[in-house]
Amino acid sequence: MVPISYAPTLEFQSRKSLEEDIIKSLRDGNVHMIAICGVGGVGKTTMVRRTEDRAIKEKLFDEIVTVVVSQQIDKLKIQDQIAEILRLDLSEKTLDGRAHKLRTRLMDSKKKLIIFDDVWKSFEPEDIGVPYGGCKIILTSRLKDDVFEEMGADKVIEIQVLDKKEAWTLFREKSGDCVDDLDFRPIAEEVAAECKGLPIALATVGKALKNKNIKTWEHALLQLRGANPTNFQQVLQNVYMPLKLSYDFLETESEKSLFLLCCLFPEDDNIQIEDLALLSFGSGMFERYYNIEDGRNRTFHLLERLRSRFLLITGRNEQEVKMHDVVRDVAIFIGSKEKQGFLNVCSMDSSRNCNWMSVDISNIANAKLPVGLDFPNLRLLMILNSNYLKFSQGFDVNDICFKGMEELTVLYFSHPNFQSLPSSLEFLKKLRKLHLHYCEVKDISVVGELASLEILRVWRCNKIEELPADVGKLKLLRLLELRACEKLKRIVAGVISSLVGLEELKIVGCFNKWEAKGNVSEERNASLSELESLSNLTSLEIDIFDPNLVAQEILLSKQLRRYRIRVDGFLFDVMKHERIITLQLPRDVTIGNWIRRLGKNTQSLELRGDGSNDFNLGEMESLRELVFRNCSTVEKLMNAIDCKLPMLEHLKLRELRELEEIIDGTIPEGSNSFQNLESLVVEHLPKLGYLWKSPNQNVSLVNLKSISIDDCPNLRYLFSMATARSLLQLQRLEILSCETIEQVLWNEMESNTEASVIEFPKLKALTLLYLPNLLAFTQGVEIIKFPQLIELEINNCPKLRTKINQFPDGMIEKIFVSDRDNIEEIFRDDGNRHIIFQELRELRLQDLSYLTTFYRGAESIKFPKLKELWIGNLQRLNSFVPIDSEPTHDHHSLHFFCNKKNANEDENKDEYYEDENHEDKKETEGEERIESSNNNLM
């Protein structure tokens, strides 16, 4: 084989690291199938070509076969392609007969790589004669889950779009030197920015505009911004059509509709999945027999499918999605051109027959909708103000603008800044969903005329003071959401109990005047007892500001599956689960049975105040997150016999002044308590003597990833050695300000030689601060291994003598050790004489009175990425790396401080070196000698 002469491609760091990852996987004997995925046009095939070329040059394989699979899998054709490259005659007629002959050929002694490019459906390579395990296989596809998971890929590599700097480099290379001209540069940068890092768009647009005049560039920019490439044929053919193919390949109309729905939101918007779910439900996208909860679950399922095809990406968190701008342009093009004007994301004076419309009023002159609009087929209308503009007279929704929209089922306002709802809303007899977001309206009584309304969402409408009685006429209403309406002080009594079809009620961050049961005054507000009338309720979110209301009894719907109950005004937004209770109760408040019943199925529970210590935590087998703080009455968190919590993932205990231990008694042997615990935070517990007291503790922390202990002055150690052996997933360990702690792990077998080595295989960050009596990790252990350590920080631990006795595989990025009286060396090597701190960027050693060397036993040491070096007050440092014989010097080795006396006469002066431009230098420059201004330390 010889390298294939593809056109030369630019080197990008983001692509280079992926290429190295693929090559590493090809060398790994445990990896048989590698999957490369990403959105259409992101560079999957280019990556495969580079990998193939590299594999040939490095002689990783004797034979390489590349086959393009495409949308329809033709197994006979694939067999023919493989046989042709292998120069194998396939005269057999049947698929199985040909597969047997291919398999025999591929199982000979030669090393082979089979590449299946552009896979759209899963298939079994064995069926066509490619033996799994007998060959290395690479797949490329824009469909992640449907292909790679079903085919059982061992390694999945996602290719992302180029960053801004790489995108400009590629665009400039394709468009030529003209973009460097002062007249062209601004418009060229805007055109490149519209391609949003997608390589196929950058290359296609760049080539199309090469050597064109500035007017052509300006016209191209206009078309790219307007998602209208019909007069820009190269873009249409090379960019839009390949991405449209991904749309055409979607299996259901629901997937296609949800994809088009996303493009109605502004460019670069982080789209709330909840918004999409309710818009989909309101527009009738799902069958009418779905309830809202079922529709929401359906939306989540479809969005996952769209994400697995890279038509959508995750937003700022898992509750949001985003559209790549080029993909959004394709969606707009499909909806407006391919579907006969189904979609309109431009203006309100065209596409009269469209079904869905999104209008950005910040682009409308004088902020007024035209009079006499006629959209007889319009079912979904979104009026947005993406720039959050403030209009001096308010946004004018004139009283006749909805007369020509009788088919409208969804009306969505966001930041429109209008001050009243138009009376013409009464013409919308089929309206099912109304969303008001950041509106200046004061009165929403007209909503009561929308007899078909099923979803009413009112967000941050800060001039609304009352939920009027007219809302109680909405007998078909399924969801009522009032969120962050700061001036809402009154909900007319009887309104909520009148909404008998309500499935979801969310009143959060606003109304705080729930009445006590039995109040009969004329001006009374809604009471919690009205919830008893809602027999269809599946979801409930409410704030209760009067803790005494918790004591009264309420019978909630048996169908209730999702709830967030917040008492006394502190936030639970950080809690991500569906069933949440947060309570802040004084000592004299009794917790009602309705809260206790909900508590048994709660996933997240936050308790504050002395009155909150009245739960039997052992009953809460669904609990995943527990926060307990500011309580002076609790001494034991729970009894060992009742302790279950098999699902608990996060436990945070803070400011519990009387807490002596977490578990009262000995946990039964074989218990599954805490087996799913991932994070443990313990802060400001002055009487806590133990986490788990019994000698063997009978607790398995196999999933614990993070531990943070702060200000526990009575704590002597964290875990027993037996428990520590289960900490195989621990990634972060932080201990601060614990005055009496002597060792992190209590070694119950101190003289046993088996305990002389302990390893934390996944620990990435270790922080030990202000521990005046810490002697060691554990007594009797000579070697402690942290093979994956990235950050090491030790400060004010004067009695600690334990060293890290194994070099952490070159992954460590930060070392900060200071204020320790006894430490003589930081690392001691166990065999390797040539050390490379491959990723170390920051090294700080300060106030180490007895430190004589940094790394004992090494002959050479390198820091290729070191950016900051702090050396201060190291009175006994004789050599940074002591060596017994003179090393062989070469330009790759770093020998600063090797066998050289620290001659700095000012012991209180820190030496600080920083390279601001390090990333732009060659790698070898990071290995050069680091010199100070006076050369005293060399």
The tokens describing 321, both together, are 């999605």
State the average pLDDT over residues 480-496: 93
Highest-pLDDT range among 381-385, 584-588, 703-707: 703-707
Partners of residue 527 on adjacent β-strands: 515
Euclidean distance between CA atoms 383 and 345, whole angstroms: 10
Q: What pTM was estimated for this model as a whole?
A: 0.74
Q: What is the mean pLDDT of the chain?
A: 81
pLDDT band at 714 (very low <50, low <70, confident <90, very high): very high
Place of tokens 């875990």: 719
State the average pLDDT over residues 206-228: 78
Higher pLDDT, 91 or 264: 264
Q: Which residues of 355-387 are buried (b: 16+ CB within 10 A; e: fewer)?
A: bbbbbbbeebeebebeeebebeebbbbbbbbbe
pLDDT band at 804 (very low <50, low <70, confident <90, very high): low
User: 748-758: per-residue pLDDT in tens?
Assistant: 655 444 456 77
Flag whether pLDDT at 339 surpasses 60: yes
Q: What is the pLDDT of residue 204?
A: 77
Residues present in the chain in total: 938
Flag whether pLDDT at 832 surpasses 60: yes
pLDDT band at 348 (very low <50, low <70, confident <90, very high): low
Higher pLDDT, 98 or 341: 98
Q: What is the pLDDT of residue 938?
A: 22
Higher pLDDT, 476 or 373: 476
State the average pLDDT over residues 132-154: 82
Find how far residue 443's CA is from the centre of its chain: 39
Q: What is the pLDDT of residue 893?
A: 42
Q: What is the pLDDT of residue 830?
A: 59
User: 280-325: per-residue pLDDT in tens?
Assistant: 998 888 766 578 988 899 999 999 888 877 788 888 788 899 887 7
- If residue 579 lies in a helix (H) or strand (E), which one and from where to where? strand 579-584
Which residues 6+ apart lie within 8 Å of 132 measured at CB? 32, 33, 125, 126
State the average pLDDT over residues 845-850: 85
Q: What is the pLDDT of residue 697?
A: 62
Q: What is the pLDDT of residue 929?
A: 32
User: 385-408: per-residue pLDDT in tens?
Assistant: 876 666 555 556 655 578 888 899
Euclidean distance between CA atoms 64 and 61, whole angstroms: 7
Flag whether pLDDT at 897 surpasses 70: no
862 neighbors 894 (Cβ within 8 angstroms): yes
User: 638-696: per-residue pLDDT in tens?
Assistant: 877 777 788 899 999 999 999 998 888 777 777 777 889 999 999 999 999 888 875 55
Q: What is the pLDDT of residue 4?
A: 47
Q: What is the pLDDT of residue 806?
A: 55
Q: What is the pLDDT of residue 10?
A: 64
Q: What's the half-sphere exposure (Cβ side, CA atoms, 13 Å) at 665?
A: 9
